[in-house]
Amino acid sequence: MGTFEFDKTRLTAIKVYLDTIIGRCNDLAGHYKSAQSAEEQELSGVFVEESKGLTEWRDSCERVLNGTARTEVNKESLCNWLSSLQGLLDSTTGLVLMFGMDPNLPETMQQKFEELAGEFEKLDALVRSERELYS
């Protein structure tokens, strides 16, 4: 039986989207950290935690790509990994959209949330299509 082959180009694209989203979450965390209200400062913590979680996924993706994954990469494990990432995206995207719908947000912040939501949507579509390949 041969070695399992997977599309490294698409997995690399997933990693790039994760990097982009992590950067955007860190930007939002920095903005809210300097906010005046305690409620807004709490949002900073939410984005810091989100960034940490996504960084774990990005690092996991990197290990798969460079051959140092903690478990053997096969069709089933890759499908499970993608399914778990999809679950995270399903819950996180709603959170981002909820925060971005605040009518009191300045226009520049609304734009940041829209950009972040757009990146989540692109990543979501890529993960879904990639998962279908291995299902």
In three-state form (DSSP H/G/I as H, E/B as E, the rest C), the secondary structure along the chain is CCCCCCCHHHHHHHHHHHHHHHHHHHHHHHHHHCCCCHHHHHHHHHHHHHHHHHHHHHHHHHHHHHCCCCCCCCHHHHHHHHHHHHHHHHHHHHHHHHHHCCCCCCHHHHHHHHHHHHHHHHHHHHHHHHHHHHC
Chain segment 92-128, per-residue pLDDT in tens: 877 777 777 777 777 888 888 889 989 999 999 999 9
Mean pLDDT of the chain: 87
Are the CB atoms for 65 and 8 separated by under 8 Å?
A: yes
What does the pLDDT average to over 58-86?
90
User: 3: pLDDT confidence band, cut at 50, 70 and 90?
Assistant: low
At residue 50's C-alpha, the angle toward residues 47 and 52, to 5°, is: 110
Cα of first residue to Cα of last residue in the chain, in angstroms, is: 20
Look at residues 85, 81, 99, 93 and name the one whose alpha carbon lies nearest to residue 120: 93
Could you give all domains of the chain from N- to C-terminal order, each with its CATH number?
Answer: 8-134 (1.20.1260)
